[in-house]
Structure 1
Amino acid sequence: MAEKFDLHALRKHLTQRLALGLVDMACHMPTLAISRPVTAMGLRFPSPLGIAAGFDHSGRLGRRVAALGFGFNEIGSLTFDQVASLAPAHHGDARLGINLTLDASQSTAEACSMLSNGWPHADYLVLNLIGPASAPLLQQDARLRQLLTALRQQQQHLNQAGNRRVPLVAKLRCLPAQIPFSLAGLLLELGFDGLLVAHDPGPPATRQRYHDWQDQRQQAQACEQIEHLHSFCGGGLTLMSVGGIQSAADLQGRLNAGAQLVQVHAALLHQGPWLARRLLRAPWK
């Protein structure tokens, strides 16, 4: 079993590297980018479609993905040490998000320092609450509230001192019958800018799961979850949606449901670097 797992991990790693390399090469090709500008969280995005964390983990592509039609690129999820060693990404028009790993073993001071290190590089920051490192926090209500409060206050301080506004977003898992209303309410109370809704149950990201998302009933479930959160938040949070987007119809469905920004990952691995063009060329409804 161990050998089989290693082969699967190696195949996944090679597929990821190949896909990243192809997107990198495509960014250098002379093309006419498709622009579908949107404004969310006080920022202008070249399009509502972006790349999810995990694809460009260390920021190799940076903001250059705007050349392919992507409005933003979220790098990470990054640990404390990885954030501290980030290099600036100056070139390109796409917005850059930095996904920060919230580790339950970190102190509040360490988490605030990680946010401070990421702030100068980011157009928006995401606190990742769906990874295994953060799982214990979801069982510790008082600790989670204290940590999110401190991070929100640190963001406000940095924005005021730096004379620019970097929005703060939290990434939460959202599954059928498990819509995170309570945590969304906490984000609203603390004044967060956005909620990144992850509709997928998490790794391993198998080919079968990719095909499962082609079932329109599953797409409809994700749209229903966004609709419920949109109604609950009342415009107080910008909603971002990730998980299962493969077609223009999928993208349009999430936008119609109330998401303002939508991310792709697996579809970029399977369909190649021209994905954004195909999804954005469809007429808006």
Structure 2
Amino acid sequence: MFYTLLRPLLFKLDPEFAHRITFGVIQQISKLGLLKNVSISCQPRNVMGLTFPNPVGLAAGLDKNGEYLDALATLGFGFIEIGTVTPRPQPGNPTPRIFRVPEANAIINRLGFNNQGVEQLVENIKRSNYQGILGINIGKNFDTPLKKAINDYLIGLQKVYCHASYVTVNISSPNTKDLRQLQAADALDQLLGELKSEQAKLAQIHGKYVPMVVKIAPDLDQEQVESIATLLLKHCVDGVIATNTTISRTGIEHLALAQVNGGLSGAPLTQRATVVIRQLHHFLRDAIPIIGVGGIMSASDAQDKLSSGASLIQLYTGLIYRGPDLVGEIAKTVCVDLKVNHREYG
């Protein structure tokens, strides 16, 4: 209710500024011990060998540098994913680069992997008190040639491995030039082969196995989804996140902001992301778990993702429009349903 009252004021501010102010204040209040952690009663889920206290997570992008972990931990999430982080710090694309589309409950962003670099992210994790399941999303620097992208992903995997519960390989952002070409069969086959080999080496070095998942785009046809699923199975990838933002403007084509470049998230993405989840589930046949994300604005949207084959879900734009209460609303609904339909992945 507090967020509902505050949102009109926040929406008058520049989106990036509003984000920094909101989470900066919450983080400081959290450090003072004045925030009470949201408690959600749910049957834990075993996915990728990890025990998730509830299936509602935070998607990457909201906390790119792991700066707000203590604050985010109070909101009731079953897991938190930070990043996307690159080997070297980079400023991202010029501002303005986030655009709210309130008429459609949507956001367009063209951030471009703005982050402080992997070394700073690791330091932020070390300083936090967060003890829950932590996903770390890795990408390539904008000026790394595509043919050398594997080097950036290997550096990212090596640097974050011992700090992550799982690592996400982001090959689907529309805001880094040519990045989505890594979803093509030959490129993805090579990338996954080298990353899985490095994952095995790191597991021996650190004495623990950290699952690796791949985040894919919603702008794929069924043949492309099948090709990706085949490669995920071939390389025994631990999970897949579906989906990233979309370059489509379906649902907002009548609005002026439809002309703005960037990835669209929120309600216009809801159905398309669910279709990709359903297709993945058909091709993967429960062999690899799916984390569903994209346009989850309500408990009903979350249930649709789960019933279409997702084992876990993540929030981003829904959190901005609905506020932290959305986490509890979804968890309360889906946790009851999960007691009846419980699927586990080792």
Give the alignment's TM-score, normalised by structure 2.
0.70
CA displacement, residues 140-192 of structure 1 (integer Å, 9 cap, x when unaligned): x4343222211111011111221112100010012474562211211110110
1: CA distance between counterparts of 2:17 and 2:220?
32
2: CA distance between counterparts of 1:135 and 1:225?
16
Correspondence 1:1-285 to 2 at 5 A: 11-21=14-24, 24=27, 28=33, 29-36=35-42, 37-62=44-69, 65-81=72-88, 82-85=117-120, 86-87=122-123, 88-89=125-126, 91-102=129-140, 104=146, 106=148, 108-131=150-173, 132-133=176-177, 134-139=179-184, 141-175=185-219, 177-178=221-222, 180-198=225-243, 200-202=245-247, 204=262, 210-212=266-268, 218-219=270-271, 221-282=272-333, 284-285=336-337
- Structure 2 unmatched runs, 5+: 1-10, 89-116, 248-260, 338-346
2: CA distance between counterparts of 1:122 and 1:66?
15
CA displacement, residues 178-224 of structure 1 (integer Å, 9 cap, x when unaligned): 56221121111011000101164057467xx64546xxxx53x5434
Deviation for aligned residue 1:235: 1.7
Question: What do you get for the CA RMSD once the two structures are aligned?
Answer: 2.7
Give the alignment's TM-score, normalised by structure 1.
0.83
Relative distance call for 1:53 and 1:253 in structure 2 (3 A) is same
2: CA distance between counterparts of 1:63 and 1:71?
14
- Structure 1 unmatched runs, 5+: 1-7
Identical-pair percentage = 30
Relative distance call for 1:149 and 1:211 in structure 2 (3 A) is closer
Deviation for aligned residue 1:105: 5.2
Give the letter for the 1:72 counterpart.
F
Runs of 4+ in 1 over 6 A off after TM superposition: none
1: CA distance between counterparts of 2:299 and 2:25?
22
Q: 1:73·1:97 contact (CA, 8 Å) conserved in 2?
A: yes
CA displacement, residues 15-39 of structure 1 (integer Å, 9 cap, x when unaligned): 3224433653675512451142211
2: CA distance between counterparts of 1:23 and 1:228?
39
2: CA distance between counterparts of 1:282 and 1:254?
13
CA displacement, residues 235-276 of structure 1 (integer Å, 9 cap, x when unaligned): 221101111001111111211211011111111112223321
Relative distance call for 1:15 and 1:231 in structure 2 (3 A) is same
Q: How many residues are paired up?
A: 269
